[in-house]
Amino acid sequence: MAYYPQLVKQYPKQLRLFNYGSTDIGKPLTLAVLSKDGVFDPALLKKQNKRVILINNGIHPGEPEGIDASMMLVRDLLSKNQLPKDVVICFIAVYNIDGSLNRGVSRISQNGPRGYGFRGNYRNLDLNRDFIKGDSRNALTFMQILNTWQPEVFLDNHTSDGADYQYVMTLIETQKDKQHPLLADYTSKTLSPELYKRMAASGYEMIPYVESEKATPDSGIVAFLETPRFSTGYTVQHNIISYVTETHMLKPYDKRVWSTYYFMQHLIDICQRDAPKIGNLKRQTDAQVQQQNTFALNWALDEEKYDMIPFKGYEAGYKPSEISGLNRLYYDRNKPYTKNIKYYNTYKATAFADKPLAYVIPQAWGKVIDLFKLNKVAMHRLKHDTTLSLQMYYITDYKTSPRPYEGHYLHSGVKLNPVDTKVKFYEGDYVVYTNQPINRYIVETLEPQGVDSFFAWNFFDSYLGQKEHYSDYVFEDIAAAYLKQHPELQKQLEAEKTKNPQLAKSASAQLEYVYRNSEYFEKTYLRYPVGRLLTDVKLDFQ
């Protein structure tokens, strides 16, 4: 952190440092911004039709290549007077400051560097699972930076683990079926192939990030699906072209740093070359997403579809372990190979939602409101208490992980029953129209079936609990009178008893059945509290 201020002294016009917000240990996030013309006002840069690249470093402190490579690249771009004229570059110097200060030797499978930090931040969160839920102050500050500078291109620098092979650098690009078709067309046909070509010319041939279905990569590799909890799953909701570099942990550290350096250099160069095109694509994508009606909420790998790609690996073998005496895996670097292997890179959407005209969010859900504000979601507030006719979801089924994951008990397999009803909202409650460039973020967070929706991350769990009940001996008489007044429910109960012998044998279960199907039962139980306004009504706003 001492290095950047020294550079600013040498190049005060073109390098500026900004401190944003806080992290979980109270230190701010430092953003180093390079601007050839010395313009550092994001709004003015938009007016001047400049592109912005945001580069994130050190989210996993044991993976510090990007931290070092960024310092080198900033120095070189300035000292060689090679700043691009149409691209402003923003570097987050170190994102996980808290973890970086927690020095250790915990990444035992890695070949250097000598000193590095710990993966968890001060709250022991993996920050690269925190983008959608925003538990850490680091994530909230990242949202502030992203939505202030509004980059068209984002890069997150990492180090891999897993199999051994010949490549120093591997790459995760936004999964094409999850990315907007306009951006996917450009990245898959132009930008990504160009990055692969230029990296090979620099001596750092790349391969897609190696995630194997089975033990070794020769059985095929699978494209990484970055859901919105990950940095690039979150940035894709903002229609930003996004990459993750993953250097290989067993290659010498200097090579890992240089490959990260060259990748950033090539990305910047291509962005300069394609600056008008990337600007147009962003504007067109924003406009199309404003109009888009149906949104995918979850994805699954299509195991039928794959490409064959050349892969430079090392032969894998098995030999007796000195620890257990049982077979252990090893890679033989004396036996390099090039084989064509399967690359699975097709995902199918497995859940969809049609957007409503607007979502209505009670102000009680303060964290949702805070996150929407940080993400510059346009919101209106009701001027008066207002009863609205809208669609509310009842949660009819869901699964919950038995152990916490990143501080939450994630929900999945959510099933819904949409019901048209009237709900009273209060003065100051929020109405979010779905005609915004950031629609993907709005819909993917608010639709409970979203893989990383706010519902999945336990934001609304209080609605999963029943609040009122009855005393059996009191309700017996009331229920009997109620059945007399409602013969249709009596019939329904009798039919249910013939279907369900357990019910027929249990007095308390029958009483409960009457209660649940009567008007006495709370209407808000399992009712998701965010409303879906489907028809255009005139509303008074503050």
d(CA 399, CA 410): 8
Nearer to Zn ion, 158 or 411 (CB): 158
Q: b/e for 189-210, b at 16 or more Cβ within 10 A?
A: eebbebbbebbeebebbbbbbb
The DSSP element (H or E) to which 267 belongs, if any, is: helix 253-273
Output the smallest distance, CB 502 to Zn ion, in A: 51
In single-letter form, the type of residue at position 200 comes to: A
Q: Which has the closest alpha carbon to 172: 225, 239, 101, 213?
A: 225
Output the smallest distance, CB 96 to Zn ion, in A: 10
d(CA 3, CA 161): 29
The DSSP element (H or E) to which 351 belongs, if any, is: strand 347-354
Output the smallest distance, CB 426 to Zn ion, in A: 43
Tokens in use for 163?
């199999």
Tokens in use for 27?
């230190």
Please name the residue ranges forming H helices in 315-446: 366-374, 439-446
Nearer to Zn ion, 60 or 527 (CB): 60
d(CA 185, CA 176): 8
Output the smallest distance, CB 223 to Zn ion, in A: 17
Could you give the strand order of the β-sheet that contains 221-222, starting from the edge strand earlier in sequence?
221-222, 327-344, 307-320
Interface residues toward Zn ion, by CB under 5 A: 60, 63, 158
Q: Is 460 exposed, middle or buried (0-12, 13-18, 19+ CB in 10 A)?
A: buried
Output the smallest distance, CB 128 to Zn ion, in A: 6
Output the smallest distance, CB 158 to Zn ion, in A: 4
Q: b/e for 133-171, b at 16 or more Cβ within 10 A?
A: bbbbbbbbbbbbbbbbbbbbbbbbbbbbebbbbbbbbbb
Output the smallest distance, CB 157 to Zn ion, in A: 9
Nearer to Zn ion, 209 or 295 (CB): 209
Nearer to Zn ion, 60 or 107 (CB): 60
Output the smallest distance, CB 124 to Zn ion, in A: 16
Nearer to Zn ion, 36 or 158 (CB): 158
Nearer to Zn ion, 243 or 528 (CB): 243
Q: Does residue 113 have a cis peptide bond before it, meaning omega lies within 30 degrees of 0? A: yes
Output the smallest distance, CB 312 to Zn ion, in A: 23
In single-letter form, the type of residue at position 355 comes to: K
Output the smallest distance, CB 63 to Zn ion, in A: 5
Nearer to Zn ion, 30 or 232 (CB): 232
Nearer to Zn ion, 35 or 57 (CB): 57
C-beta of residue 195 within 8 angstroms of C-beta of residue 266: yes
Output the smallest distance, CB 118 to Zn ion, in A: 13
The DSSP element (H or E) to which 87 belongs, if any, is: strand 87-92
Nearer to Zn ion, 209 or 299 (CB): 209
Query: What is the SS3 assignment for 24-83?
Result: CCCCCEEEEEECCCCCCCHHHHHHCCCEEEEEECCCCCCCCHHHHHHHHHHHHHHHCCCC
Beta bridge partner(s), residue 173: 243
Nearer to Zn ion, 204 or 230 (CB): 230
Output the smallest distance, CB 244 to Zn ion, in A: 8
Tokens in use for 226?
């970055």
Nearer to Zn ion, 60 or 198 (CB): 60
Nearer to Zn ion, 133 or 158 (CB): 158
Give the number of C-alpha atoms closer than 13 A to the C-alpha of residue 234, restricted to the C-beta side.
Answer: 22
